[in-house]
Structure 1
């Protein structure tokens, strides 16, 4: 039975160092939420707290109506998939998959039937009698996934499960994990440092930094509408330009960038625009133009890089160094005069600097 995971005001310390800071998170029944961030951001600590391997300093963890906060790990009934597989080397594939069922007192005949059925689902029926040492990395990860799913846990947790696999196998495995998770409808938490992996596999993603969730949203919303400068930079917005509103006429807003450049923005596109904000763009969101009449940020192009579909320029402006793309048909020389013209559909307004 699928259940909702609720984490409230979770704080944790390693010695005197605070590693989680009043973190709250809700994962809906049957939903897969990824915790994404750089090493040391708190994502693995969050997983270990939910799993019962660490105790929080404060806060609570509930699964459905069951309070997990003080329960030992073995009583939480959580399925776990680790990056190092954690298979028993002396047990066969079939015995590894059935191990959790054995611990729960499932009879031998029923245990084998359920384990074989799960091996069939992950495409490993023919390897049931092999030892883990005879398997490839991808096969080992399938065994670990089958072992976690066969106990039919109310919560499934993944700790960097694909980091030991090569690039192509990682792509194949994340598709398989997502398909199995959806078929089972198991509430899941997935820890990774890989943005593409998190975005491709998740219903929602929590981007973490310094023990806090900076934004929890769908992959589409994170990529297109980051909530703050940290998330914007994390998802690839290279350019953050501070702006001040100097005029309003209905939904039309005139804003000024450093150096006095004025740009016209429309609140129909960006939503309510505060008096001070940050205009965030990727390189695709600024187009380098040699037209002196263009409405854009005056710039001096520097290093030019060929991308195949466009040239990319490192540009000096009054707002600092900005990265912008320009058409292949009109390359500009370093040191020339240019304007960086924002592409509205490729920009977003951040209400926080």
Structure 2
């Protein structure tokens, strides 16, 4: 039996058998050798980036990387350069003439605002060419993407990326897994390095045992019920189809997503906020992204599909959103 909290740092007395079981099964799910669980996905990204970075490391990051990664770049004291979104060529240009002995390429496998996929195969080839670490944030992929026998295992599992010595993966436990917390997945050497160098792990109270147990249950559900990942993607496609006519009439389209997120471009931050409020009043909860949380000019409504949405719920949601979008100036 455990209390409500972990009581101390993982390295002192905050590690339970639940944490260890979660790390083992999470690594198996994602196709990585080991996992290390943090108290949040935010701290997982900060921990791994600061542990790997420093004055002798160049970080080459996609311009759409999450704020938790950006804060990690800043805290690491590494020279950091951004490359054009999803451009392997631009990332390669930045790596080609670096003076630093070490390099890290930072991306998300599925981007949280646009919902589009990173070109992971091309980025892995680039990491191999330049002897760089490829850091992949799987926050929006784990539990959603995957093919064949790897449904829901994410974008790394079942590919050449899984277990690759140049690849490190981070994940949140708060989205598809339905709990809270985060993790860094990689080789045993990476895990050992983080145990000694990741300050956001070493000096933070461990993830609450109840949250670890909930995340572990989520991992087991993903493995036992692969239909859920397929259902998420098919429901996201149904949302896109239901909104396509009204968007086409406005000369617009959805940013086609590979996972649960469907992103609708809005003409302004004000219109995005007003649309999200109107949808919520009508019983449809959607995300709203606007500056300063995203760059100027890319305000979006974000629709996130669930595995258990019914056809009636999808149509009702689309009807509400069609009405709102038709009234936009």
TM-score normalized by the length of structure 1: 0.28
Larger radius of gyration: 1
Higher-RCO chain (CA-CA 8 Å, sequence separation at least 6): 2
Per the normalisation by structure 2, the TM-score is 0.30
The structure richer in helix per residue is 2
Compare the two structures and name the one with the higher strand fraction.
1
